[in-house]
């Protein structure tokens, strides 16, 4: 018999799943607690209010992801000068690996991040959790591309983050345009296309 997860976790999991499908405003607390199978009032008891619940969903997995990314970057840097491609893989591969876990949590999380990342309302939250590690990767890219202006490198890195985030958020528009040849949910295939595209993008930047 599966051990009963505590109420807090039940609510967080349900919120994560629902917020990954729809906006913050489009999901009600009643819906979350309903899906979690707990009473309405418990959401307010465990997480002060709706906004704090959303932020806790973001916070719950952020540090684990950041840590995995930094570990991977450090491992590469210990072996010598890191290439742009290696740095990108260190940043993106953990995201894919977590999403590929049989449990659905990370997949929901990645979709949720995709929408939070472009909603001004959550910009402070996103920055608080992800900017420190993003800055470390930006520095690594500056080092790998000493002859490219920093602004150009940073812009390219932001482009990369945006594509990564949306590529793994199951954007289904590609299915119609490919007449069904491509499946949006095939994350390994997306990753395989993504890396050479991004590496090529950095290679295409003008030098100083």
Partner DNA sequence: GTCTATAGGCTGATAGAC
Partner DNA sequence: GTCTATCAGCCTATAGAC
Where does this chain bind a copy of itself (CB under 8 A)? 21-26, 114-115, 117-121, 123, 126-127, 131, 134-135, 138, 150-152, 154-156, 158-159, 162-163, 166-167, 169, 171-174, 176-178, 181-182, 190, 193-194, 196-206
Q: How far is the CB of 111 from a copy of itself (least distance, A)?
A: 9
Q: Which does 104 bind (CB under 5 to 8 A by kind): a copy of itself, DNA, none?
A: none
Question: Which of residues 14, 17, 29, 116 is near DNA by CB under 7 A?
Answer: 29
Considering the rule CB under 7 A, would residue 100 count as an interface residue with DNA? Answer: no
CB distance 99 to 168 below 8 Å? yes
Q: How far is the CB of 155 from DNA (least distance, A)?
A: 37
Burial class (CB in 10 A: 0-12, 13-18, 19+), 177: exposed
Other C-beta atoms lying within 10 Å of the C-beta of residue 64: 12
Name which of 11 and 116 has its Cβ closer to a copy of itself: 116
Q: Which does 5 bind (CB under 5 to 8 A by kind): a copy of itself, DNA, none?
A: none
Question: Which of residues 5, 21, 23, 51 is near DNA by CB under 7 A?
Answer: 51
Burial class (CB in 10 A: 0-12, 13-18, 19+), 81: exposed
């Amino acid at each position: 018999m599966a051990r009963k997860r505590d109420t807090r976790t039940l609510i967080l999991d349900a919120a994560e799943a629902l917020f990954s499908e729809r906006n913050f405003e489009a999901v009600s607390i009643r819906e979350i607690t309903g899906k979690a199978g707990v009473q309405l009032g418990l959401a307010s008891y465990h997480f002060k209010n709706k906004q704090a619940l959303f932020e806790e969903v973001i916070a719950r997995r952020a540090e684990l992801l950041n840590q995995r990314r930094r570990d991977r970057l450090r491992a590469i840097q210990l072996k010598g000068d890191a290439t742009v491609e290696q740095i990108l893989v260190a940043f993106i591969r953990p995201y894919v690996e977590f999403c590929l876990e049989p449990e659905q949590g990370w997949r929901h999380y990645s979709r949720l991040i995709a929408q939070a990342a472009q909603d001004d309302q959550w910009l402070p939250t996103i920055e608080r959790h992800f900017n420190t590690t993003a800055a470390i990767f930006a520095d690594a890219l500056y080092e790998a591309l000493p002859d490219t202006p920093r602004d150009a490198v940073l812009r390219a890195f932001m482009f990369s983050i945006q594509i990564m985030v949306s590529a793994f958020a199951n954007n289904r528009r590609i299915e119609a345009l490919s007449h069904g040849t491509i499946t949006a949910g095939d994350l390994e295939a997306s990753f395989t296309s993504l890396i050479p595209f991004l590496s090529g993008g950095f290679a295409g930047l003008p030098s100083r």
